[in-house]
Amino acid sequence: MATAVNRKSVMTLFCSPTCAYSHRARFVLWEKGISADIEFIDIHQPSEDLIELNPYGTTPTMVDRDLVLYDSNIIMEYLDERFPHPPLHPMDPVSRARARMMIHRIDQDWYRLMDEIERLPDKKASKPRKMLRESLIASIPVFAAKVYFLSDEFSLVDCTIGPLLWRLPMLGIELPKQAEPIRSYAARLFEREGFQQSLSEYEREYASFIDFATN
């Protein structure tokens, strides 16, 4: 009997239309101009194909011929290496390692708090919400230092940060006036064609709450 893997003749990305981890994988897909099928699923009622492919039933999950990946960072790096132009990771080992460490810190410091906010009831989410806001504010000089995050070139680090910033109003986080460098940085990401194409219909609805979003 055919498995879910060998039934897929083209690269397929199984995504939640609302989760930031799926969003950042789609951001990379569109920035690289990769042709792939995107299948949106209800993570609370995953399809039989997804369960067969991924024992954790999580998104994003990607199938490329007989290869199955189900971690957003692994998927993003695989796409960048499989389709090397334009490169979204530095070419030299030291810079590449630094970028990987930066993504790890973003996941630990910012995405972890985002996950808590989304998981907890509104009143109990006030603490991680405050922590995420304060952490972003403390990083204003970093956002202001370069055109992109600690770089003059757009990279996988930016693909990681963009979906989180897009969700700030939905998370109940309002940035102060002095956070203009974050707003300017966010606007540069949001106006990219790859970002606009990466948005699901659900994610597009967040734009009405974001004062620095583009059309």
- Report d(CA 51, CA 22) in Å as an integer: 17
**pLDDT tens figures, 117-144:** 999 998 899 999 999 999 999 999 999 9
From the list 149, 151, 132, the residue with the least C-alpha distance to 184 is 149
- Which pLDDT score, from 0 to 100, does residue 127 have? 96
- Which pLDDT score, from 0 to 100, does residue 73 have? 97
The pairing of beta strand 37-40 with beta strand 61-64? unpaired
Tell me the pTM: 0.90
At CA 33, angle to CA 8 and CA 203, rounded to 5?
85
Rg for the chain, CA atoms, rounded = 17
- Report d(CA 46, CA 190) in Å as an integer: 29
Q: Locate 105 and state its tokens.
A: 């810190």
Whether 63 and 53 have beta carbons less than 8 Å apart is answered as yes
Angle of helix 126-138 versus helix 112-119 axis, rounded to 10: 150
- Which pLDDT score, from 0 to 100, does residue 206 have? 79
Catalytic residues: 19
Look at the chain and count its residues. Answer: 215
DSSP string, 79-105: HHHHS-SS--S-SSHHHHHHHHHHHHH
- Report d(CA 97, CA 93) in Å as an integer: 6
- Phi and psi dihedrals of 38, rounded to 5? -110, 120
DSSP string, 161-177: HHHHHHTTTTTT----G
Q: Locate 144 and state its tokens.
A: 């202001």
Terminus-to-terminus CA distance in the chain, angstroms?
A: 47
Cβ neighbours of residue 205 closer than 8 Å, sequence gap 6 or more: none
- Which pLDDT score, from 0 to 100, does residue 215 have? 40
- Which pLDDT score, from 0 to 100, does residue 5 have? 53
**Could you give all domains of the chain from N- to C-terminal order, each with its CATH number?**
12-82 (3.40.30.10), 93-192 (1.20.1050.10)
Which residues of the chain, if any, have pLDDT below 70? Answer: 1-9, 207-215
Q: Is the dihedral of CA 116, 121, 122, 125 positive or negative?
A: negative
